[in-house]
Every structure is written in C-alpha cells, then in structure tokens.
Amino acid sequence: MPARLDAFRRWLAAGRHGDMAYLGAPEHVAGRSDPATLLAGARSAVVVALAYPHTDPPPCPPPASGDRVPPTGMIARYARGEDYHLVMKERLRQLADAVARAAGRAVAARVCVDTAPLLERDLAERAGIGFIGKNTMLIAPGLGSYLLLGELLLAVEVAPTAAGRSEPRCGSCRACLDACPTGAFAEPWVLDGRRCISYLTIEQRGPIPRELRPAVDRHLVGCDICQEVCPFNAAAPDRTVADPELHARDAQHAAPDLVALLGIGAAQRRRYVRRSALRRIGRDELARNACVVLGNSGDPAAVTALERALADASPLVRSHAAWALGRLGAAGVLARALDRETDPAVRAELSAAASECDGPARPPARR
C-alpha cells in the first residue's frame, strides 16, 4: 500500500480537494491504493521526471517613447510551452516500445501522466527520484522541484533502480509555508487546495472567494511562489536540463497583456491555448482570472477593458469585472452597470464593489 494513501484519504475527508470531487470517486481511490488496478497484470512502474525552465524568459522589448506599459499577468512556468501531457505521453510511449524491443515480445503497458489516478509523487519518492518537501512538491536534490512526473506501468518484472524511499531534507526550513500569500498550507506537507492559487485559477469553476482575490495578485494561471523561495531551487540548473519543448513560446505565454487577452474572441483563444496546458482552463475562467489580476494591478488603463467585460455573456466574468472596477475606484462605471444588470449574483458584486470605491486607495500589484 502506498505510504501516503492514508494521508490522501484524510485530505479528502477534510474537503481540501474543493470542487475536484472526482478525486474521491471509487476508481480514483482504487488506482491510488493499488496501481495494478490500472493495468491487468501490472508488475512494475517506471517513474520518470522531465525538467522545465524555472527562470523568467527575456523581457519584452521596451515600449516606444510615451507608450504605456500594459498590465500583465503571470502564467506558471510549467504551462508556458508545449502541453506537458502531450510531451510526456509521447516520450513514455517511446519508452514502452523500447521495453518491448528489449523483451523481444509485446509487453502490455499503460502510460500515465498527472491525469491518471496515481499517487505519483509517492511513487517517484519510492523510485529514488527525490523527496517530498513541505510544500508537497517532489524535490530532486541537484535539480530542484521544477519537474513534471510521468509513469509507465508494465506487465513485466523490472529490476528496481533505487534502494527505496528518500527521506525529507527540509529540516526546519519554512520558506514555502510562510511565503504562500493565501495561507494554503494547513501544516507542513498538507496543502488545502481550496486556498491554493493554482487551484483557484485553474480548477475552481465558480467565483474566486472575495477574500482571496487580492492575494491572487498577478497570477493569471497557476502559481510558483512556494517553489521560487525553496532553497533547493536557488542553485538548480535551468536551461541546461530543461526540456526544449517546455520553454515559453513567447511573452504572451509567460506574462500576457491582460487587456488584449480579455478582449480576444473564441477563435483567437483557441489558437492561444492550442497544444498548451492552458487548454485546461475554460474561456470564462480565464477571463475571470484576467479581471481579478487587472483589479489587482492598480492600473486605471484597465477600466475600459473591464467596463466592456461588464457586458460579457457570462455572469462569472461580469461579477469579477465588477470587483476589479471596485478595486480601481470606477464608481461611475459600476453605477451605470447596476442600472441594467438583472443577475442577482452580479448585482451583489456590483453593489459591494461600488461601496468599496469610497474606501482607501489600494496599492498596485507587484510588477
């Protein structure tokens, strides 16, 4: 039985998976209890790690003289390049073919990335790749935690390549726990998904809780804070080991112009997220996130785009645009929108935002 299965069950029982109800489904718990349920005759699990870049891409060219710098958001580093699911699955299929050639016969295999119901970090730790840090990330000494994991289940016996589980090496360090702006760590090694910025901006399908929106800051998709402060990442190599396919495609896939992103149409959005991990996020959720980050930017140049978003077909987008306009003190825009809005939830956001326009000015987010 996986060492962390009981911890996973306690995590589910505490509701820390939030809206990800599928994690508690019997088939998901069964796979995490016994990987052999995912492949008939499974005898071995090959665990691999793929490094992705952890330094920021080169800055965009400076704007022409007199031009404003548009407000930008941040995309988590793993999601800036090619969709890692596609990259990892192709590499694991090639590995499965190599195993069959070495065995001289067909070998039943199943390729797994993070969508498969496995306790993959537990398996990676048992395989000797690294240890699980207090931020729940797998840390490979010498490489750090900017790693993506994949597994190949095989119906053939493979000799183990590691002596066993790696012991945690965090010591008394609390850098990751203390740096989390939403207080998502209930305790070391326990992440409350409902407060994690990655969950809020990717998995959460409804409104982001109002009290957590300021802490989202510039994080449009995902968050790297608990990795950025980890000492094991400070001296880890980057481009020498990072997979080329996972490098940021361009500035718009690392720190996108939010005004432009909020205004793109359906066809443009499909092109933007194509073959990217950003496909995971729905159109409304991406626009919701852009509104929150624009509200946190403190930039009055965002008001026009947010006012247009108040006419969006999605109540989710309109409600977060209202909140953002309140942060920017756009009382007149909110009053006009309140006159025509009929959705009760959006009206409540508009009223709350209008009342906050009289409060103290808010500093812009870090840039």
Among all residues, which ones are annotated catalytic?
114
Distance CA 143, CA 128 (A): 13
Structural contact between residues 138 and 145, judged by C-beta atoms closer than 8 angstroms: yes
Is the alpha carbon torsion for 45, 1, 194, 363 positive or negative? Answer: negative
CB-based contacts of 199: which residues, under 8 Å, 6+ apart? Answer: 18, 20, 193
DSSP assignment string, 276-291? SGGGGS-HHHHHHHHH
* Residue 120: φ, ψ to 5°: -65, -35
Is the alpha carbon torsion for 316, 341, 346, 74 positive or negative? Answer: positive
Q: At 19, is the secondary structure helix, strand, or coil? A: coil
Query: Tokens 């980057």 sit at which residue?
Result: 238
Pair of tokens at residue 354: 């209008």
Structural contact between residues 138 and 130, judged by C-beta atoms closer than 8 angstroms: yes
For helices 344-356 and 315-327, what crossing angle results, to 10°?
10
Query: Tokens 């945690």 sit at which residue?
Result: 168
Identify which of 74, 229, 216, 240 has the alpha carbon closest to the alpha carbon of residue 145.
Answer: 229
CA contacts within 13 A on the Cβ side of 263: 11
